[in-house]
C-alpha cells in the first residue's frame, strides 16, 4: 500500500469489541468461576459450528427470528450464524441417537442483530455459558439442580408458569405471540403492552385485563396457595398440573437450600418458541432497567405571556446506534433458561428427549462486575506473572541476558510464572517500571558479583521505606525455587485472610450480585 491512505475507517463492526488487558482478566475469571460450577455438577463439554444450516434455526425463536444473521450462499448451502447454543445442542442430540441422557456445558460466542448498548453488555457478538440436562428423569429433579447451579454461581433466580394464558382465555394459536408481548413488561408500561395485545394481536380487552390480574403476582408458596383458591385455576387441568410441578420444585429447592432465593413470577414470559414448561431468569440490582412507570409532569399552570417554545421530542434512535447512554435501557437478564421438551423432536422422528437448561450471559455479567470493581480499589493486574527477573551493574555492564534467561527457565520448570526484559542491556529503572505497571509481586535481581558467587536477590515489590527487606534478601541459586514458592504461599495466605486478590474480587463481585425480589425487571432474550 506504500504511503497511500486507507480508504476506510479502522473500527470493529457495530455491536462488537476487542478485548484486552484487565477486561480479559475479569472475563476469564468469570469463565473459570462458571466452568468450575458446571464441572462440580458432572457436566461434560461439547462444541458445535459457529454457523448452522438456515433451516435448523428457522421457526425456533418466534418474533426474535428477525435478529438472526443470515449468510450468503457459499457453496450450495444456506447458513446462518448461531443465535444461541440451545438449538445447536438439540440438533446434536438428534444426530446422536445413542445418547439418551447427558449433562453438557458449552461456552461459545453467539450472534444477534440486535440494537446494541455496549457498556451494558448488550452486544451483537457475545459469549454464552450453557448448562443443560437432557434425558427422561423424574419430574422437576433436574430443574431444581439447574436453579441450584445458578445460586452457586452468584446467588438468586426467578420463575414463571406459562399455562396461565389458557385460564385467561387466550386462544392456543395466540399463546406464543401473547407471551412475546408480556415479555416486554420490563421495558414498557402495562398500557402499551395491552395495546399491542389488543390492537396488533387481536386479543379482547377482557382477556388482556385478566392477564394483568395474574402477571402482577409474585412470591413463592404463597402464590401457589392463592392460585389454588381461584376457581378459574382449579377448573383448568393443565394449570393444576403445572402448580403441582411448582410445588414439587419448591420441595426440592428446600432440600438444596436455595428456596429463599427464588421468586415465582407470573409475568415472566420468554418469547422463544421452543420453551414448553417452567422458565427462569436472573436479574440483579445492576442489570435492572429503570421503572417503566410514567414520570411525566402535568402541564404547567404558569400564565407567562412569553413562554418558552415547547421542546422537541427526541427522535427515536437509529437501529445501529449504540444505546449505552440511554437511561431507559438496562443490562437485562444475566442468566435465563427453562424446559424445552419438544425441541429435539423437531429434528428427529424418534422419541422426544426432554431437556432443561440455563444460559449465563457472560458479557452482561462482565459489565456489572466491572462496574462494581470500578467503584472500589481493585488489585486486578493484567498478567498472572509472579516474578520479574532483572539485572543491574556498573560500568561495563553486559546485561546478563543469558543468566536472566537461565533463571527464568529454572522458574518456569518449577511451574512459577516469570518474565524478563528482551533487551540485552536493560536499564534498571525500566525493569522496575515494567514490574510495577504489571503488578508483579516479586523480583529476582541479578548482579555481576552475586552471579559470580552463585547467588541472586529476591525482592518483594511495594515494601515501604524502612522495611527490613526493602532491598530484598540474598539466596543461593539452588535455593531460589524454594524461597520463591514459600513467599508466594505466604502472600496467598495473606490475601485469603485480608482483602483478597484480584481474582477473588471478581468472584466476590459476581456472588454479591443481588437479585430484584419484588419487581418485574427482566430483560430480553439476550442470554
Distance, CA of 27 to CA of 46 (rounded, Å): 20
pTM listed for this prediction: 0.70
Q: Hey, which of 139-153, 305-319, 401-415 has the most confident mean pLDDT?
A: 401-415
216 carries a ligand binding annotation: no
Domain spanning 387-499, CATH architecture: 3-Layer(aba) Sandwich (3.40)
Distance, CA of 335 to CA of 155 (rounded, Å): 11
Q: Which residue would you say has higher pLDDT here, 192 or 350?
A: 192
Q: Which residue would you say has higher pLDDT here, 213 or 419?
A: 419
pLDDT digits (tens, 9 = 90+) for 208-260: 777 776 766 666 677 777 777 777 776 677 777 777 888 888 899 889 988 87
CATH 3.40.50.300: does it fit domain 21-163+268-372?
Answer: no
Q: Show the cell assigned to 393.
A: 551493574
Q: Which residue would you say has higher pLDDT here, 364 or 120?
A: 364
Angle, CA of 84, 262 and 245, to the nearest 5°: 80
139 carries a ligand binding annotation: no
Mean pLDDT in residue range 420-433: 94
pLDDT over threshold 50, residue 299: no
- What value does the mean pLDDT of the chain take? 78
pLDDT digits (tens, 9 = 90+) for 370-417: 776 665 445 677 788 999 999 998 888 899 999 999 999 999 999 999
Question: Do the domains spanning 21-163+268-372 and 387-499 agree at the CATH topology level?
Answer: no
Helix ranges (DSSP H) in 216-361: 221-228, 231-234, 237-255
Could you state, in order of their start, the residue ranges of all structural domains in the chain?
21-163+268-372, 387-499
Minimum mean pLDDT range among 195-209, 344-358, 366-380: 366-380
Minimum mean pLDDT range among 348-352, 407-411, 490-494: 348-352
Strand order in the sheet with 335-339: 44-45, 102-111, 125-134, 355-361, 335-339, 279-282, 157-160, 262-265, 218-219
Mean pLDDT in residue range 93-118: 91
What local confidence, expressed as pLDDT, does residue 158 receive?
36
Residue 521 near residue 289, CB atoms below 8 Å: yes
Distance, CA of 133 to CA of 520 (rounded, Å): 27
273 carries a ligand binding annotation: no
274 carries a ligand binding annotation: yes
128 carries a ligand binding annotation: yes
84 carries a ligand binding annotation: yes
Q: Hey, which of 16-30, 175-189, 258-272, 438-452 has the most confident mean pLDDT?
A: 438-452
pLDDT over threshold 90, residue 352: no
pLDDT over threshold 70, residue 509: no
What local confidence, expressed as pLDDT, does residue 497 receive?
63
Residue 377 burial by CB count (10 A; 0-12/13-18/19+): exposed, middle or buried?
exposed
119 carries a ligand binding annotation: no
Mean pLDDT in residue range 72-90: 91
Q: Predicted confidence band at 263 (pLDDT cuts at 50, 70, 90)? A: confident
428 carries a ligand binding annotation: no
Distance, CA of 191 to CA of 19 (rounded, Å): 41
CA dihedral 168, 173, 177, 181 (to 10 degrees): -10
406 carries a ligand binding annotation: no
Phi and psi torsions of 383, nearest 5°: -130, 170
Amino acid at each position: 500500500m506504500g504511503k497511500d491512505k486507507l480508504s476506510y475507517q479502522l473500527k470493529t463492526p457495530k455491536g462488537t469489541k476487542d478485548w484486552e488487558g484487565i477486561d480479559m482478566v475479569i472475563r476469564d475469571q468469570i469463565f473459570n468461576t462458571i466452568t468450575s460450577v458446571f464441572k462440580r455438577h458432572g457436566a461434560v463439554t461439547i462444541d458445535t459450528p459457529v454457523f448452522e444450516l438456515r433451516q435448523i434455526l428457522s421457526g425456533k425463536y418466534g418474533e426474535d427470528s428477525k435478529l438472526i444473521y443470515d449468510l450468503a450462499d457459499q457453496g450450495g448451502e444456506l447458513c446462518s450464524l448461531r443465535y444461541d447454543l440451545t438449538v445447536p445442542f438439540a440438533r446434536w442430540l438428534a444426530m446422536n441417537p445413542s445418547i439418551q441422557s447427558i449433562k453438557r456445558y458449552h461456552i461459545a460466542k453467539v450472534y444477534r442483530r440486535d440494537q446494541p448498548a455496549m457498556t451494558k453488555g448488550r452486544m451483537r457478538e457475545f459469549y454464552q455459558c450453557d448448562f443443560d440436562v437432557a434425558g427422561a428423569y423424574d419430574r422437576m429433579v433436574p430443574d431444581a439442580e439447574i436453579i441450584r447451579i445458578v445460586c452457586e454461581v452468584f446467588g438468586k433466580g426467578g420463575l414463571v408458569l406459562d399455562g396461565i394464558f389458557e385460564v385467561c382465555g387466550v386462544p392456543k394459536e395466540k399463546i406464543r405471540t401473547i407471551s412475546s408481548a408480556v415479555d416486554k413488561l420490563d421495558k414498557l408500561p402495562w398500557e402499551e403492552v395491552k395495546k399491542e395485545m389488543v390492537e396488533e394481536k387481536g386479543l379482547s380487552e377482557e382477556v388482556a385485563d385478566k392477564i394483568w390480574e395474574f402477571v402482577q403476582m409474585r412470591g413463592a408458596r404463597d402464590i401457589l396457595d392463592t392460585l389454588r383458591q381461584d376457581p378459574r385455576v382449579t377448573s383448568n387441568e393443565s394449570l393444576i398440573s403445572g402448580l403441582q410441578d411448582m410445588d414439587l420444585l419448591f420441595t426440592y429447592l428446600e432440600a438444596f437450600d436455595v428456596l429463599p432465593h427464588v421468586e415465582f413470577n407470573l409475568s415472566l414470559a420468554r418469547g422463544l418458541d421452543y420453551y414448553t414448561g417452567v422458565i427462569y431468569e436472573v436479574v440483579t440490582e445492576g442489570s435492572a432497567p429503570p421503572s417503566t412507570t410514567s414520570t411525566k409532569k402535568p402541564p404547567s399552570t404558569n400564565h407567562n405571556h412569553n413562554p418558552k417554545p415547547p421542546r422537541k421530542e427526541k427522535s427515536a434512535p437509529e437501529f445501529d446506534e449504540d444505546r449505552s447512554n440511554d437511561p431507559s435501557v438496562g443490562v437485562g437478564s444475566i442468566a435465563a433458561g427453562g424446559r424445552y421438551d419438544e425441541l429435539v423432536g423437531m429434528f428427529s422422528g424418534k422419541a422426544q428427549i426432554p431437556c432443561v437448561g440455563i444460559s449465563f450471559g457472560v458479557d452482561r455479567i462482565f459489565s456489572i462486575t466491572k462496574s462494581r470493581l470500578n467503584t472500589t480499589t481493585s488489585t486486578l493486574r493484567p498478567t498472572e506473572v509472579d516474578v520479574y527477573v532483572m539485572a543491574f551493574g556498573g560500568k561495563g555492564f553486559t546485561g546478563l541476558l543469558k543468566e536472566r534467561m537461565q533463571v527464568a527457565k529454572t522458574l518456569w520448570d518449577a511451574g512459577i510464572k516469570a518474565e524478563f526484559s528482551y533487551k540485552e542491556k536493560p536499564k534498571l529503572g525500566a525493569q522496575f517500571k515494567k514490574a510495577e505497571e504489571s503488578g508483579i509481586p516479586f523480583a529476582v535481581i541479578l548482579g555481576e558479583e552475586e552471579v559470580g558467587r552463585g547467588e541472586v536477590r529476591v525482592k518483594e515489590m511495594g515494601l515501604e521505606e524502612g522495611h527490613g527487606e526493602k532491598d530484598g534478601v540474598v539466596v543461593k541459586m539452588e535455593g531460589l525455587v524454594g524461597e520463591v514458592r514459600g513467599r508466594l504461599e505466604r502472600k496467598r495466605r495473606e490475601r485469603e485472610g485480608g482483602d483478597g486478590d484480584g481474582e477473588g474480587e471478581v468472584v466476590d463481585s459476581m456472588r454479591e450480585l443481588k437479585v430484584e425480589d419484588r419487581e418485574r425487571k427482566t430483560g430480553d432474550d439476550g442470554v
